[in-house]
Structure formats: C-alpha cells, structure tokens
Amino acid sequence: MSKNGTALRYMQVYLDLKDQIAGGDFQRGTQIPTEKELMSHYGISITTLRRAINILCQEGLLTKKQGSGTYVNGIPANTPAVPAAPEKPAANQRIAVIMPDVSRMAPEGDARHWQLNLRRVDGIYQEGNRTGANIRLFDLSEPFDLDEFDGAIIFRVFELEMEEVFNRLVAPLKRAGKPYVVLSEYNLRFCDKYWVVENLALEFLNAYRYLKEKGMRKLLVIGLNLTPENPRVNVLPLVMKPDCCEFLENPRSDTASARARMKEYLEAHGGLGDIDTIFCLTDLQAVGAMDALLEYGIRIPEDVNLMGCDNITDGLNAPVPLTTFQFSGRGVGRTALEVVLRAINGDYPDGVMITKRCRIVERDSVRTIKR
C-alpha cells in the first residue's frame, strides 16, 4: 500500500476492496473483515478506511448493518467485472499513473472530477489485475521519480498543456525510450505518439442530434467558456441554425451558480419564451438549472427538455432524474493500460491514437416534444 497521502490511500483501499468483491474473494452475503482488521492490514487510519467503505456502500457493493458489521452485496449487473487473467502476466512491468492533485478528487472538493477520474482509475486497476501489472498512483502535488517505471499513464490537466511543464514531466521516459499514454478530452500536441482520447466535438454533436430527434427547435446552452473555439459548442451549426440557439455563460461549474444564472435568466425574460430544450455542459449545472426552473413553475420535461453531461450521481438523484451522456471512464482506463503495456512489448512502433465513445443515458428529463 502506497503511503502517498490520505486521499490517495483511501482510493487505493476502495479499488482493492472492490477488486476482491468482483473477484469473489468476498462472497455475496458474507461479512468483510472488521474495521480493526482492515486498518491493520492496510496500515491506515479509521477515517481513511471509512471513506473507502462509504464509497462502496454508495455504489451498492456493501451494506452496513448496525451493531453487526459490513456485508457484501456483490457487483451490480451494470458494473464491469474484472476480466480473466491473461496467459502472459505483466507482473514485472511497473506503470506510473499521474493525475491531478488527488485531494481535489474527494467528493466534498470537486464531485464532478472526482467521479469522472475515479472511473478511469478503476478501469486502469481492472486491467492491471487482468495483466498483473504493478500500478502506482501519483499526483502532481508530490515528488516522484519516473526513472523507476517502465511506462506511464498521464491524466490530462491544464498544467500539462504547457509545453515546458509537460516536457519536463516526461523527459525521463523519453530519455529511456519508455512509452507514456495521455488520457485526454482533446489531442495534446505535446504527446507525439500515444493517446487515448474522448472526442468532445463528436460526442457533443451526437448529443445535439439526439435532442434534435426529440423535437428540439430552440436551444439554450448553459456552461463555461461558450466561445467558437470550445469543441462543446462549435459543432452546433451542423445541427442548428444560429438564430435557434442561445447561450448562457456560467463562469463556474457548480450547482449553486447555475441555479442563480438560470433564475436571473427567467426573471429577465419572463420565462423561457420559445426555448424548448436546455443543454448544460455538466450535470452539476443541469441540476442547478433544474432547481431554478422548478421553482419558477416550469415543468421538466412537460414544458422543457433538460440534458446534462457526465452522468454523475447528482443527476441520477435530481428531482427529475437527469438525461445525460457518460464518458467511457473505465473503458478509457483499461485501454490506456493496454496500450502502454503493448507499447512496452514493442507494439505500436509508430504510435497510436484510440478514441473511446460516450453513451447517452436516458432518464426522465427529456421526452419527445409533441407539436
């Protein structure tokens, strides 16, 4: 178990316990070891352990019974199981996973990025279990030495879009001819060989087309940085005429600010006018907009369709369960580790870019509009 800080350790405990549940080490209906036993096994505090256990309970994998202990529910049907072990394990291959400051991924800090990145990390660990690769997690707030590793997976963060910072980070790998894979929503021009990307322009285009098929005629887009350079919005002309779109800039991605901006819009315009569809660039913004709409007396989806992006639990638990679309997440993580391991073994000599697709998650906030 890594000693790289509480935030990192509780995530590792969560992933390890989840893998044991998926692999059948803890059978459905059985009690997991006591808190004292798990604290001793992992060398962690009660606070760190309970954070990991609480996530597993939230995901429905464990259930706490007052005065009795914590019991295994098993892996839900929609959760990818850990694949069978390969014929040729990669136990001697050490892979560094470098991500943003892990403390920002805690639910109380940044719920959106915490859930998105946790899915990707989970996928990396699933593939690590399948191949036997030795995975170590690091974040940019702590020192680490990439000379010790055979390859790396690097999460896209704004700091790494600066060429000087990025080159300094990967210099040890380049000197030794070791591969590194970048997980990105965009194509980092500094990573000249291996990418696993989620194509935002393509995915948002599909989302707009989906809303168009539902009868959208007048769209309001709510989000941050709604400029022509933003791939989330620059595909709109392929679907909608310019006079059929409005944009409501919200400088933050949280629920409270989106609620306030939506409320301001409704008061300034006396309602929605002829807008029949609202698309928010994050689920958190969509939940905030939903609160303001419902307070104003606007029904969802009877009066307006509302869609978000990310598929985090806030949207699922909203007053009207939110239609959204989900990035590949675990699939991105699994593919990234597969690529770096194959590159270590000599595959992809000319490099590779793999695009992972998103999927639309239909719930109650979007319906077919009847004219």
CATH number at residue 146: 3.40.50.2300
Residue 243 sits in the same domain as residue 190: no
pLDDT of residue 97: 92
Provide the domain count of the chain. Answer: 3
pLDDT of residue 186: 59
pLDDT of residue 237: 85
Residue where a domain stops, chosen among 78, 113, 139:
78
CA distance 144 to 99: 12
pLDDT tens digits along 102-146: 555 444 445 566 677 788 888 998 899 889 999 998 877 777 888
CA distances from 92 to 34, 106, 126 (A): 32, 31, 17
Residue where a domain stops, chosen among 78, 105, 126:
78
Work out the angle at residue 95's Cα, subtended by the Cα atoms of residues 89 and 100, and round it to the nearest 5 degrees: 145
Question: 279 φ, ψ to 5°?
Answer: -120, 125
pLDDT of residue 153: 93
* CA-based torsion, 208, 265, 363, 78: positive or negative: positive
Work out the angle at residue 78's Cα, subtended by the Cα atoms of residues 305 and 327, and round it to the nearest 5 degrees: 55
**Structural domain range at position 70:** 1-78
Q: Residues of the chain whose pLDDT is less than 50?
A: 1-7, 76-89, 105-109
Q: Is residue 256 part of a domain?
A: yes
pLDDT tens digits along 38-91: 988 888 888 888 888 887 887 778 888 888 889 998 654 444 443 333 444 466
